[in-house]
Structure 1
């Protein structure tokens, strides 16, 4: 384990690699000052049973609220991890929060979500001199992140929202969000946060559009499945466009050859998760008939990571820490290229903590193969991007 003496000043970040949920929770809670903690974020590996973690948290936290989700991987003080239970403790001196659980995403009532969110925000008393933003954790298999993110942006107005979709490795079988120590499926958790720290949002990816465009000619938007591209079977046409035999299509190919959509003069990734039995393509974000997409090609991922994390405030200070939501497909590509140790070093140097997602949310948009984060500085001026 790397030396973490020079870790963040304003949060306490702890993790355990124990395979036993009870032991892991005991180990991490022993390292935080509960009496000074306002709330904790907990990101759990796919190897742990959520109910076991919930029971252990209930015994150990002494009433401190716990939020978070299951993950497709963790970003710990040591960098990337697969089987580590990660906890970030937010002290009352610098943070306040109010939470809301949306316990039924599919089917979703937009009217109910807007009403509950606006009322909740109004009841959250504002602390003088503190600024607000929101964190969103969503069931990554709900297929509702796109509409939820845009709905919440409309409900909260200028309040910036950052978040990630819960995962479970690359199994795509079960994902849960954590609200006040209990795990929920088909659900999402919104945290309204106030802080006296300076903060700013950041988002970046490592893809450029090519000259190759395509049209989604047959799709099921509710299931995020594309049956035809350019009038041909979707998997067959995609394989032709990327120069790969259709039988060799796999997450690694999808990660290196993403499909992009153009929104407000910027391209965003709509990631493919797998090939269906009928030679369709399953996507991890919104898709629709008639959508024009562009084939993407990767840039050098280490350079984009270095540039993206090189944040400074107006005083020239670097962040105390970065809360990060990093797509699992980015990590898959990084590991496939043998760059995981180098990326972990970068995360360690920049005090990046968080998890690998099934999708990322940034200011009303749901996207894939992107790094979204919130960088925290000392308690000075605040900037949003």
Structure 2
């Protein structure tokens, strides 16, 4: 399949797409630039595979695309016009006819200064007033190893007020060593990137998982909250008790076991996943979300993941029309489960049918809440006319 045929699988009007599987950063950026030659973007989102060196990529962007406004992050995989991929450099060019953007970089974010995030966000909002007839939304990309997304999202919700925010935590394949966000040609760790968008397109937020609670309850009896580290569950070593509940030996615990047997926390009438990242030491469990002493958890059981994916992506506008495209932030643990079950092809076909592009994350941000093992997205609908900016 050629690059052109590949990109034609998602015939969106409001964005242009480009992808490169080249091994060298300079070649990959050159291919991206060539594919976007006819685009007139307000800005470009770039989702980076872990195999590309970010310093080389930054140099290539400065040389080959010096006049382009490029944001993005490193990933744990990409969702391209082919569906799930691991090694593609994906570029999404948002046409200036339909989008305006303003940005701010929060650095450092470990620890988060709540007052500073609120203040800077309010300032950005006030300096980016809405144009009559257009709507605003925000996108957030955070260092996925910072362990600060929960606090960051609370601060952003205060600063953004009624502006909805969606996003994903940057990834690093399956290495969990270094995650970065991209702004103004530079990659940053220990940072978060906030984009404030204005668009003439109607849009709808998406957020869904495929788990339901079981009757297996857990209480966190010893934790180090600032490290998202649980040392004891139900008074026993955390890894040992979790393994007992999922009925596997401790030695067999792995990202795949964590993906298929998540723990859930209740928030009102809803349950959210608190995903386990990895074993820490001999008995601890490191989580992707906030954790604390006394937290009540339940073991989750999965529903049919492709069916829930199909249902979750089946969004339409008021006229019953499908989206022009869906910008998707999909937890890497979902991808692991899908791969283990041999459902990669079916999931990718759903993404192609629904015009989904985006990346696999280390965590998702949905309307002020940091979640895990969830698909979060924004469905943008085809333009209905209107004057350009």
Q: What is the TM-score normalised by the length of structure 2?
A: 0.96
Q: Which residue does the alignment assign to 2:167?
A: 163
Equivalents in 1 of 2:31, 2:177: separation in Å? 28
Instruction: Give, in angstroms, the shift of residue 293 of structure 1.
Output: 0.5
Of 135, 138, 155, which residue of structure 2 is paired with 1:134?
A: 138
Checking the alignment, whether the CA contact within 8 Å between 1:326 and 1:357 is kept in structure 2 is yes
Partner of 2:35, secondary structure, is coil
Equivalents in 1 of 2:288, 2:67: separation in Å? 35
Checking the alignment, whether the CA contact within 8 Å between 2:13 and 2:382 is kept in structure 1 is no
Instruction: Give, in angstroms, the shift of residue 272 of structure 1.
Output: 0.4
Instruction: Give, in angstroms, the shift of residue 192 of structure 1.
Output: 0.2
Q: Which residue does the alignment assign to 1:64?
A: 68
Of 160, 176, 181, which residue of structure 2 is paired with 1:177?
A: 181
Checking the alignment, whether the CA contact within 8 Å between 1:34 and 1:61 is kept in structure 2 is no
Equivalents in 1 of 2:38, 2:129: separation in Å? 23
Q: Which residue does the alignment assign to 1:237?
A: 241
Partner of 2:326, secondary structure, is strand
Q: Which residue does the alignment assign to 1:373?
A: 377
Q: RMSD of aligned C-alpha atoms? A: 1.2
Q: Which residue does the alignment assign to 1:347?
A: 351
2:312 is equivalent to residue 288 of structure 1: no
Equivalents in 2 of 1:24, 1:97: separation in Å? 25
Of 321, 342, 358, which residue of structure 1 is paired with 2:325?
A: 321
Instruction: Give, in angstroms, the shift of residue 3 of structure 1.
Output: 4.9
Partner of 1:289, secondary structure, is coil
Matches within 5 A, 1:257-296: 257-296=261-300
Matches within 5 A, 1:81-100: 81-100=85-104
Where do 4+ consecutive residues of structure 1 move more than 4 Å?
A: none
Checking the alignment, whether the CA contact within 8 Å between 2:7 and 2:18 is kept in structure 1 is no
Checking the alignment, whether the CA contact within 8 Å between 2:39 and 2:93 is kept in structure 1 is no
Equivalents in 1 of 2:8, 2:67: separation in Å? 29
Instruction: Give, in angstroms, the shift of residue 372 of structure 1.
Output: 0.1
Partner of 1:222, secondary structure, is helix
Equivalents in 2 of 1:320, 1:72: separation in Å? 25
After TM superposition, the structure 1 stretch with the greater mean CA deviation from structure 2, 58-67 or 112-121, is 58-67
After TM superposition, the structure 1 stretch with the greater mean CA deviation from structure 2, 312-321 or 52-61, is 52-61
Matched residues, number: 381
Equivalents in 2 of 1:181, 1:216: separation in Å? 42
Equivalents in 2 of 1:70, 1:62: separation in Å? 20
Instruction: Give, in angstroms, the shift of residue 62 of structure 1.
Output: 3.2
Q: Which residue does the alignment assign to 1:211?
A: 215
Checking the alignment, whether the CA contact within 8 Å between 1:34 and 1:64 is kept in structure 2 is no
Instruction: List runs of 5+ in structure 1 lacking aligned partners.
Output: none
Equivalents in 2 of 1:95, 1:61: separation in Å? 20
Partner of 1:332, secondary structure, is helix
Q: Which residue does the alignment assign to 1:221?
A: 225
Q: Which residue does the alignment assign to 1:200?
A: 204
2:146 is equivalent to residue 145 of structure 1: no
Deviation string for 1:137-166 (max 9, x for gaps)? 000000000000111011111110000000
Equivalents in 1 of 2:161, 2:278: separation in Å? 35
Equivalents in 2 of 1:314, 1:188: separation in Å? 34
After TM superposition, the structure 1 stretch with the greater mean CA deviation from structure 2, 106-115 or 232-241, is 106-115
Checking the alignment, whether the CA contact within 8 Å between 2:21 and 2:89 is kept in structure 1 is yes
Equivalents in 2 of 1:187, 1:47: separation in Å? 21
Distance 1:4 1:32, change over 3 A: closer
